[in-house]
Structure 1
């Protein structure tokens, strides 16, 4: 075997060992001082690369180095993004679409301009290069945000907002980055052409991800071999990402969309056992990708960059936080969002792999002042993960986000137990229908499951106090969702000509009243 390949294999084995070690360290010291795993990983990466040269990519020629870094980060990103999309709650995503959309578009533009002008004013670097740095730092990194959100166990709606924004704002920042880069390299700038390019990348990514997701859904419906299910999801993640990139649309968007499409239809395409297997695999893959991506990020950082641009990095991090606070206020205007949630969204805007990937492109192209650009970006990424990452857990605890009372916890456990039993009953029925078991076995096991289901139902029905309020809230939330679906169906029937104008108005008015009543009752419960 080629000696250089052997060295790379050994170094990757060392990366895996470091990843496990970082996870162990984070777990051991998490309770007293709450150090996030991503921070431990990036510090170990710095020790493995710039300090002890255990994993040193600087010996590679520039072209190989660029391709290797791009490949590593692309594979890790598609893993994190697909897993994030698969776990993204579709209804919650649609509910927060306006907030996510503003954060992922206007937020990137405001951040680019704000950071660019601040760096230009302080350093005197040409404005166009400062705007390039602003575009690089505008993306809240999916790998960082997803890792942070999961570790802090934030509420579902808040996590969905953060993961949806961090996944979708990459398209904006990457497009903006290449627009500014083209101006630096002497190409003409056209606002209309740039706007069309953005729309093409966004819609193209959604189209590619949706098409591939729907195709795989159809295959999964007909798939009788559970062993192929995980492989199909792997193929979906890889193909949607790289085919989208090949056609110069957003692979990031395509990958997230594909994961969301599979997740949205999982009740029709995946058995409970298949769903569990897919969930477990992508959770394991997420851990591996997270370890590699942050360890590699650490190896890319140079100590002299971090020390030379430390003060500027601290300032830029706080500028980013202030700008994000303004953006969140704009995006949430008119929405009844808790102040604590706004602060959490502001503080969760970490920078990570995407800025480092973009700055690697700047270095590879030999852009004027690329050392300064790389130094500023590297220091901001490290300090963002250090400052925001280290303080997020105590801040979330202080804000009392995600904390539930014992009665709430007990009620949620009962609901989860009920869902598990129903899934077991459905799985047992499927085995009977597929003639994998006989009636005797079915009746024996189903009797046990039914008894447990009846017992849990009695406990839920007899809920009192806070538990009763939670039950009422669940019922009202379900009513609101069902009424919204029914209104959409009424509209569909009217558009198809099945309902007259008068019938449509009567039905719509009746359903609107029911929806309003349920929504008001839900609001009273808080």
Structure 2
């Protein structure tokens, strides 16, 4: 009953904030919900000076919500499949070289560049931490979040080619980022001396390649099942069952569930396959069902991100580190994209404005926070890494998200 009460409260808060945003503020849904949740959290923090019981109750309630489990084990499968299902697969195919380059090589380069810069920044502010922890931050913050990106880009008038590169990259690089993160996390737990290069390569191949192959198999199974019947109620249930069951099975097989969901969603999102597997009525219901799931999950996720501020540990020098982390993440993304564009210009065609727009449009979201919160609680570095992760995510969604349309206009007017 307690779980039901928490879920009910989150959905009610999301619906109220969503109504207020649409009725009065008219901001992009993700940004509006997060801002209102942040303001709500700050008000609860201030109430401790008036009525500590209310603030304490809210604090205890948020602590009961395991953000990492809620996002990584429950919400992520729905969000990634829904996002991939509604992505233009034709455009993804046209930009597959660019997307593959940014999603794989880009995340690896960014992980090490961000980790190295953070290591030196932490030393400068007098909070020295081991290099492997800095690499963990680099891994969790490098992937752009498809959940944040998809909700904002469509309203920012970004050129279609750059938009599909950002969206396509974000759909794949979060799976790659999760694999890299947990690989480095395993190294940190066991100790660098205990892990060989072969172990790292095998783990990466099992997670990444295994996730892609499993996703293709899942998508093919879904296609065959939907093609064999014509009953929209049962077909919607089949897509839901295979997403939930497939994500659970991917975890049991130790392959990347996020990559599997993206591949399965893109497989089923292909217009030819859709028309071949479903009637017009079924296609309409499947699309609308997953669109509604996407909206509801997004709403709850960004409310959760805003409310999580209640339980984040603050120290004065953390703010300096947070500002520094924002600069490091933006600088690293720009340098990596610019470098990859320069070395691949003979076979990858992108606009000259792409590095700037892909830097500012590459938003971070709940996935980064979930990975930061999944760090072992006994690690002294965890509060520091969680705070700077939170700083980057808030800046990304609120500042970058709200200003992206203006940046686009300025770039193409100059």
Tell me if both proteins adopt one fold, taking TM over 0.5 as the criterion.
Answer: yes
TM-score (norm 2): 0.85
Which residue in the other structure is 2:171 paired with?
Answer: 167
* 1:76 pairs with 2:88: no
2:322 to 295, 313, 320: 313
Q: What corresponds to 1:273 in structure 2?
A: 281
SS state of the match for residue 330, structure 1? helix
Q: Could you tell which deviates more after superposition, 112-121 or 335-344?
A: 335-344
Paired positions, count: 390
335, 339, 356: which is aligned to 2:352? 339
The answer to whether residue 414 in structure 2 is matched with residue 390 in structure 1 is: no
- Matches of 1:56 and 1:80, distance apart in 2: 30
Question: Aligned-pair distance for 1:57?
Answer: 7.5
2:367 is the counterpart of 1:354: yes
Quote the offset at 1:307 in angstroms: 6.8
1:225 aligned to which of 223, 231, 244 = 231
| 1:305 alignment partner, SS class | coil
**1:167–1:370 CA distance, 2 compared to 1 (3 A):** same
Following TM superposition, by how much is the alpha carbon of 1:254 offset from its aligned partner in structure 2, in angstroms? Answer: 0.6
User: Hey, what does 1:194 align to over in structure 2?
Assistant: 200
Query: Which of 1 and 2 has greater Rg?
Result: 1
> Tell me, what secondary structure is at the counterpart of 2:195?
coil
CA contact (8 A) 1:57 1:65 kept: no
Contact 1:48 / 1:54 at 8 angstroms: preserved in 2? Answer: no
Does residue 184 in structure 1 map to residue 207 in structure 2?
A: no
Q: What's the offset of the Cα at 1:73? A: 4.6
Question: In the alignment, is the contact (CA less than 8 A) between 1:30 and 1:36 conserved in 2?
Answer: no
1:71-127 per-residue CA deviation (whole Å, 9 max, x = no partner) reads 345332222211111112222212212211121122112222222222221222222
2:384 to 369, 372, 377: 372
TM-score, reference length from structure 1: 0.68
Summarize the Cα distance change of 1:379–1:61 in structure 2 as closer, same or farther, 3 Å threshold. closer
> What residue number does 2:337 align with?
328
Does the CA-based 8 Å contact 2:111-2:142 persist in structure 1? yes
Structure 2 CA distance, aligned partners of 1:393 and 1:358?
29
**Alignment CA distance shift 1:266-1:252 (3 Å):** same
- Residue 143 of structure 2: aligned partner: 139
Q: 3-state DSSP class of the match of 2:375?
A: helix
8 Å CA contact 1:209, 1:253 repeated in 2: yes
Match of 2:107 in 1: 108
The one of 279, 295, 301 equivalent to 1:293 is 301
Secondary structure (helix, strand or coil) at the match of 1:339 reads coil
| Change beyond 3 A, Cα 1:156–1:309 | same
Measured in 1, the distance between the counterparts of 2:18 and 2:207 equals 36
Match of 2:48 in 1: none
1:291 is displaced (CA, Å) by: 0.6
Give the Cα–Cα distance (whole angstroms) in 2 for the partners of residues 261 and 214 of structure 1: 8
Cα separation, partners in 2 of 1:156 and 1:275, compared to 1, 3 Å: farther
Three-state SS of the structure 2 residue aligned to 1:309 is helix
Answer whether contact 2:102 2:340 (CA < 8 A) is retained.
Answer: yes
Tell me, what secondary structure is at the counterpart of 2:314? helix
Asked if 1:17 is matched to 2:16, the reply is no
After TM superposition, list the pairs within 5 Å mapping 1:201-240 onto structure 2: 201-240=207-246
Contact 1:206 1:253 in 2 (8 A): yes
Counterpart CA distance in 2 for 1:73 and 1:292 is 14
Name the residue aligned to 1:515.
none
Once the two structures are superposed, residues 332-353 of structure 1 have per-residue CA deviations (whole angstroms, 9 ceiling, x without a partner) of 3313322334432221111111
Residues 253 and 285 (structure 1), Cα distance of their counterparts in 2 relative to 1, 3 Å cut: same
Distance 1:199 1:152 in 2: 36
Aligned to 1:149: 153
Q: Secondary structure at the match of 2:230?
A: coil
Deviations 1:201-221 (A, max 9, x none): 112111211112111211111
Q: Give the CA RMSD over aligned residues.
A: 2.7
Structure 1 unaligned runs (5+)?
A: 402-526
Q: Which has the higher contact order (CA 8 A, sep 6+)?
A: 2
For 1:266 and 1:307, locate their aligned partners in 2 and report how far apart those are by CA, in whole Å: 54
The answer as to whether partners of 1:135 and 1:173 remain within 8 angstroms in 2 is: yes
1:427 equivalent in structure 2: none
Q: Which residue of 2 aligns with 1:244?
A: 250
